[in-house]
Structure 1
Amino acid sequence: MCLNYHQITSEELVLIYSKLLFKSIAKTRKRQIYIIYASLYSLIRGVYMVERKLQFTGGSSFIVSLPKQWVSKSGLKTGSIVHILQEKDGSLHITPKKVESGPKESTILKRGSTTSTLTNIVAAYIAGADKIIVKGKDTAEVCEEARLRLSGLEIVEEHQDKTVMQVFANEEDLIFATLLKRLYLVTDVMCNLAIRCLSKKQDLRREAQRRDNDADRLYLLIMRCLYNTAGPYSPMKATAVRAIERVADHGESICNISSTLAPNPALASLLKEIVNFYSEAVKCIIEVKFDESLLDKHKLLDKRRQSKMAELIKRERNKEKMMALITLEEDFHRILNYSMNLVEMAANMSYVGESHTEA
């Protein structure tokens, strides 16, 4: 019996061997039964387990070939990405990178307010739409606002009844760590602008607003990447990125209200301590490392914040300044809380990393 294994499926082979096996049993051909049984066993073993030799290349790397049938069935090709997870027992689990991507084209009807239309555009962008068509009257203005807010989004067609936008950003070419560091740098600059506003009474509101717009664009771009590419810790990364973006919002808030309170070296010094703690928290996220010492540091810093702000608010007699201090106290509190969230998220990520390590 000669079979071409490359022209028929494994299921068909099993069926053929099964029929031959039953015929042999009926005729009590023991030797043929054994041969068919051995062939069937080898076939099943080959379907579910493949042996490969480990090879050494490049002076420092080991490589192993993947079964061609699995590669074709998984829709992979040269340059495709696969995920390799190390299990607790030391075995490796290889899975093709498959993501349920969002719609490649999204059509939005401009019926309500500009805000609702803009919200729908942002949602389509994050979901992974490469082309966004906005239909209705006077769509150019809202599309231009979306273009300014969303990285890689450009207007390619403009008509009386619709505007067409195209996303010129390939999320697979974007690296999360690079975008995260960029977002952090923007927020760090904003926090330092806030410190300068409090210590020297500088009017940096326009600069803070510009930086906050940058932070918003980066945040939405990162969310688009996380939504449309597979990877470890994606939900945790999304939570961490949101916390960093919120720090930017509070940095802008401090710049806006500081003119009422500045110059105030004591407030500037307290904010500097909080910003330093925030920087350490972001470092934990970037390095996926839990720093237990930050837990005690957070408690002490939060206690100082409460004591200092309560003292300043109680002592203030000017109503406008008192309201500004209350707002500032909330900003300080939020930045510290978001920083602590980052520390806790880093702990979660490092714990997950102990169970599954991505190669």
Structure 2
Amino acid sequence: LQLTGGSTYVVSLPKPWIVATGLRAGDTVFLDSMADGSLTVLPRPAEKAPPRKKVFEVKGAETRDHLLRKLIGAYISGFGIIEIRSKPEEAPFVRRVTREFCRMAIGPEIIEETRTATVIQDLSDPAELSPEKCLRRMYMTVRAMLEDAVVALKTRDEALAKDVAQRDEEVDRLYWLVAKQHHLAHVAPPGSADTVARIGLHNYRLVAKLIERVGDHAQRIAEASLLVRERTLDAKLLKELEGASSASIAIFDQAFSALASQDIDLANEAVDARAPLQKMIDGLSNHVAAKKGEELLALAMIVDSVGRAGSYATDIAEIAINSAVAGDETTQ
């Protein structure tokens, strides 16, 4: 390493490499700064790797759910192009399922259709929707779902309950995108993503899955509320349900804020709040046990989901603690 002119450092390149690459004096070389701090010297501009391709053969026994699972798996695994081949008589079925998949996921679009094949390409740009943005959107969506699910129960609002259930699809879309970004980071060439970034993406995927599960329970509350919408619930039970739901949402808020700010104290507050919530859930369970028939089943489902939402939020807080400790070497 030589210093020339007081501000420029010069590195000599080995002659065998120069000869092997066909470079001559005066040619331009290209430097690529890697995430781990190293530099890659290239004799020509780096070419973008072609998208990975996955091919599925659809046979007569294929069902909608089976094909959808394959498509989602290929999407999460980072395949940029997915081709589904089939016999001509199965083409309508394939087109129907692939269009449904494209509506369900962020990025995939059908770019080619024939009587024997359908080709999907993922057009999403990870830079446009980072894992951090995905998590925040998931959090905001699920938080609103939890609130609206309890409002739907209290007001017997069937339309609102159905709307909550439909919003769960958006949460799933965002989770799949985070899962795909996590997978792509782990299959990237060495040096393209440093260890810290990969650990961060691993935590993001764990948190995204937990938020997705909280969303599932918000959907469950909304669907169960439809079973009791025409029945009269006593004011005491409704008040207890609202209190437990508010406590669960508060834990969710604290946990996500702690994750975003790397605040260990706030995360501990969220974890500690789980015990009081459990007491509320136990009291509600005893109250609900006096009900009968369909109302008992629906209310028991609602109480259970409120509690589980709080438990998953606590898990997020614990990940926030682990993440903050790992990122701060001075933590005592």
TM-score normalized by structure 2? 0.75
**Cα drift, residue 133 of structure 1:** 0.7
One-letter code aligned to 2:274:
H
2:209 paired residue number: 242
Q: Deviations over 1:55-81 (max 9, x none)?
A: xxxxxxxxxxxxxxxxx8xx953xx55
Which consecutive unaligned segments of at least 5 residues does structure 1 have? Answer: 11-71, 85-93
CA distance in 2 between counterparts of 1:244 and 1:95 reads: 38
Q: CA RMSD in A?
A: 2.6
SS of 2:13 mapped into structure 1? coil
* 1:259 to partner: Cα distance: 3.2
Q: CA deviation at 1:265?
A: 3.5
Task: Indicate conservation of the 8 Å contact 2:104/2:173, yes or no.
Answer: yes
C-alpha distance in 1 between matches for 2:261 and 2:321? 11
What's the counterpart of residue 35 of structure 2?
82
- Distance in 2, matches of 1:349 and 1:310, equals 35
Residue from 87, 105, 108 that aligns with 1:150: 105
The answer as to 2:53 corresponding to 1:105 is yes
Matched, 1:214 2:167: no
Question: Is 1:124 equivalent to 2:124 in the alignment?
Answer: no
Structure number with larger C-alpha Rg? 1
Structure 2 unpaired stretches of 5+:
1-10, 18-28, 41-48, 186-192
* Structure 2 SS opposite 1:253: helix
1:337 aligns with 2:311: yes
Shift of 1:109: 1.5
Partner of 2:270: 294
Distance, in Å, in 2 between the alignment partners of 1:132 and 1:340 is 38
Deviates more, 1:154-163 or 1:286-295: 286-295
Q: Does 2:167 align with 1:180? A: no
Report % sequence identity: 21
Question: Bigger CA drift: 201-210 or 125-134?
Answer: 201-210
Aligned partner of residue 15 in structure 2, secondary structure: coil
1:253-310 residue CA offsets vs partner (Å, 9 max, x unmatched): 1011113345534312321221121111111222233222223221112122212x22
Opposite residue 326 of structure 1, the aligned amino acid is: A
**Normalising by structure 1, what TM-score?**
0.70
Q: Alpha-carbon deviation of 1:125?
A: 0.7
Measured after TM superposition, the shift of residue 102 of structure 1 is: 11
Aligned counterparts of 1:270 and 1:5: Cα–Cα separation in 2 = 68
Q: Which amino acid aligns with 1:196?
A: V
Is 1:192 matched with 2:147? Answer: yes
Match of 1:305 among 257, 268, 281: 281
1:250 offset after TM fit, Å?
Answer: 0.7
Q: Secondary structure at 2:82's aligned position in 1?
A: strand
AA matched with 1:259: L
Q: Which runs of 4+ in 1 moved over 3 A?
A: 4-7, 259-263
Cα gap change, 1:102/1:157 in structure 2, threshold over 3 Å: closer, same or farther?
closer
The one of 6, 13, 34 aligned to 2:13 = 6
- Cα 1:269/1:95, change in 2 over 3 Å: farther
* C-alpha separation in 1, matches of 2:50 and 2:282: 45
Deviation at 1:181, TM superposition (A): 0.5
Letter in 2 for 1:6: L
- SS of corresponding position for 2:273: helix
Work out the CA distance in 2 between the residues paired with 1:236 and 1:253: 26
